Every structure is written in C-alpha cells, then in structure tokens.
C-alpha cells in the first residue's frame, strides 16, 4: 500500500462548487504539505502543517483552506472553485526532527488532477 | 529573498550521452538542497540531497550532484542517459524561514532522451 494517498485522483467540477481534496499518510510523519503544480511553474506551496495544532499559509493560499483532522490526515478545500484553480495538486509529508525544524526529505502522494469548468 | 533557478526548461540528449541539469540558488544562509524526479503521471521521488556533509552527493539511478558554494550551484549529472530517465526534474532549496525550514521548488527541467 502507498504511504501517502490522495483522494480523489481526478475531479471535474464547475465554477462556484465547494471541493475537498483529501490526503492520508501511514508514514507517521508530523509534517504535511499541500502543493499545486502548473506547467512550467514547478510546485507552489499552498499550506503546510508541522503538527495537528499548527497550520501555516504558503505562498499561494488565497482561495484555499485546510484542515488537519489527525496526524495522518490533511484536507485541502476550495470553498468556491474557479477555473484558474485547475491544476495538479500534491500532498506531501516529511519527518522533521523532534524538538526543532529540519530540512528533511518530502514524500509525495500520486496527485489529484482537478479541472474547474 | 531566497530563490532557486533551474536554468533550462528542457534538456534533450541521446541515449548513452551525459546529462547535465543546472540549478542555482540565492541565499544568505547555508542551504539544504534536493533534487526530485517526476515521471509522467506520477508523484515526485527524491533523487538525492545535500545537507552540509560531502559536497559531491550520489543519488539513485546513477545520478549525482555537486554543491559549489562559490558558484551557488547544485547541478545534477549522469554519465550516460537511459530512456527511462525521461522525466521532469525539480531542484529544491530548503532555507530557514521564521524558525522553520520551508522548501522552495524550481520551475522544473524536462529531460528528453532520444534513442
């Protein structure tokens, strides 16, 4: 079984709809991240969470919200989807070091392809 | 401000020839640096990372990268390309920000391998 899973894998929706993308991990990591990928732009950080009670905005958080329901679960919501949110979305985890920050390896899910019409 | 620049959006090589994917960063701090690979319709996978130990870092699938502080570079190389190396490659710099380390991705380099 995959260590980081994302549901759904593909989603087509209409402008104005509320959408939730879910991420689950079995790696036991404290840190989780949401990115979007657009062609030619690399991955842009939307939100990140270093533990269940810690939520931080990334570089492109406008129009998005997140919920960290448990150590293993981190959901991304689009409250009112718009066409320029059409993208590939990735969830990632990393271990971190106990008691402090660390530049550690990230482990990525397979991605969710979202299309907003 | 901190940033990472991948100098080529596309690199095309013939199978069996060397690969060079270029990455430069800007930072006032000593960074940690990563290369990730993304095969078509897949998530990202770590190739290798530099975290202030040896400046020449060996990764998976025959790839390696050299950290050159004087040139603020972390270029990825492989002596002989294989068809299976065709993928998107991302250079990532992880720098301290407000007490945490936040990864910043380059825009990616698409490696094309011709038979």
> Would you state the torsion angle of the CA atoms of residues B32, B38, B44, B46, taken in this order, to the nearest 10 degrees?
-40
Interface test with B, best of A9, A43, A60 (most B CBs within 10 A): A43
How much is the pLDDT for A97?
A: 57
Tell me: pLDDT of A59 over 50.
yes
How much is the pLDDT for B3?
A: 85
How much is the pLDDT for B101?
A: 74
Task: With beta carbons under 8 A apart, name residues in chain A contacting B108.
Answer: 40, 42
User: pLDDT category, B1, cuts 50, 70, 90?
Assistant: low
**A56: exposed, middle or buried (Cβ count in 10 Å: 0-12, 13-18, 19+):** middle
A24-55 pLDDT, tens digit per residue, is 999 999 899 999 999 888 899 999 998 899 99
Task: With beta carbons under 8 A apart, name residues in chain B contacting A92.
Answer: 44
């Amino acid at each position: 079984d995959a260590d980081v899973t994302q549901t759904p894998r593909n989603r087509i929706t209409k402008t104005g709809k509320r959408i939730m993308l879910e991420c689950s991990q079995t790696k036991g990591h404290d840190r989780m991240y949401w990115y979007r990928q657009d062609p030619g732009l690399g991955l842009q950080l939307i939100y990140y969470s270093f533990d269940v009670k810690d939520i931080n905005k990334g570089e492109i958080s406008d129009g998005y919200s997140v919920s960290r329901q448990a150590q293993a679960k981190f959901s991304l919501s689009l409250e009112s989807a718009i066409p320029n949110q059409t993208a590939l979305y990735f969830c990632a985890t990393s271990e971190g070091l106990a008691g402090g920050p660390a530049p550690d390896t990230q482990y990525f899910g397979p991605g969710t392809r979202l299309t907003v019409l | 401000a901190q940033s990472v620049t991948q100098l080529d959006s596309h690199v095309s090589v013939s199978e069996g020839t060397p690969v060079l994917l270029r990455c430069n960063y800007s930072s006032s701090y000593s960074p940690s640096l990563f290369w990730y690979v993304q095969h078509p319709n897949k998530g990202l996978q770590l190739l290798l990372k530099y975290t202030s130990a040896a400046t020449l870092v060996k990764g998976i699938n025959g790839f390696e990268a050299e950290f050159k502080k004087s040139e603020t570079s972390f270029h990825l190389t492989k002596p002989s390309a294989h068809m299976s190396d065709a993928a998107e490659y991302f250079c990532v710099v992880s720098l301290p920000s407000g007490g945490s380390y936040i990864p910043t991705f380059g825009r990616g380099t698409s490696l094309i391998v011709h038979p």
